[in-house]
Chains A and B, each alone.
Chain A
Amino acid sequence: MSDKKMQEPSDQSLANDQIHNTPQPIRRKLLKGTVAVPVIMTLHSGAALARTSNLVGAAVDSETAKIGDQYICAHNADLDPSGKYDLGDSPQLELVENVEECLGTLDEPRSGILISVSAYNSLQGRGFSTDL
């Protein structure tokens, strides 16, 4: 075997080097590198999270919340730190004739928010009846 040939790594060895030089993902490092202590990481079910929260934004104006002559009002909406409203497991929606029936007035505010028709459509099949 010539010196030149010995110095040239084969494609196979190059490939192996690349494989061994590839940084391990952090999770693998954490799990493999710490046999001396028990390690547990938990992946929460996305489906479970989806079932337990119905996040929506309030309608930007009353017109986007209008179906016919009525407005879509969501009750018991908790404001999320992200600025979204969480309607909970079973969103309570109703159609109201006037915006004030949902939002109230400055003197008498109510707990409802107006949600857009788009938001209403996205909630369908997620824990509430579509018949308002």
Chain B
Amino acid sequence: MNHWYSVLFSSLRIENWDQEYTVFQPASGKTHFLNAMGLQILVLLDQAPLTLDTICMKLAESFSMQANTHFRQQIAVTLQRYEALGLIARTWKTPL
């Protein structure tokens, strides 16, 4: 199973606007608008590479939600979107 990890998280310029976040990505020159859960994914992946299941479990804990199939699908789509934007990447190997 592939692990997801953040890419150049420390280079991001993150501002909190009352639980909304603007994230400037210098590498692409783009600015992203995220909600709390959107940012939480990036923060989690900066701490350690994680699988989709682990991400869902941690988010469900943090936001007091049920990690059902629909939720898992939404997180999977978000991860792919982040990957396309160059915010995260994935590896098939278990990180050391």
Residue of A nearest to B87 (CB): A40
In the complex, whether A41 has a CB less than 8 A from a CB of chain B is yes
- The total of chain B residues at the interface (CB under 8 A) is 24
In the bound complex, do residue A38 and residue B38 qualify as a contact, i.e. CB atoms below 8 Å apart? yes
SS class, residues of chain A in contact with chain B: mixed
Which residues from 16 to 45 on chain A have a C-beta closer than 8 Å to any C-beta of chain B?
27-28, 31-32, 34-45
Determine the chain A residues whose CB is within 8 A of the CB of B29 once the complex forms.
Answer: 44-45, 47-48
Q: Which residues of A contact B (CB under 8 A)?
A: 27-28, 31-32, 34-45, 47-48
Q: Which residues of B contact A (CB under 8 A)?
A: 19-20, 28-38, 40-41, 63, 65, 71, 74-75, 78, 81-82, 85
Using A31-B34, A35-B35, A40-B81 as known contacts, list a sample of 6 further A-B pairs with CB atoms less than 8 Å apart, ordered by residue number in A: A32-B19, A38-B34, A39-B34, A39-B37, A40-B33, A45-B28
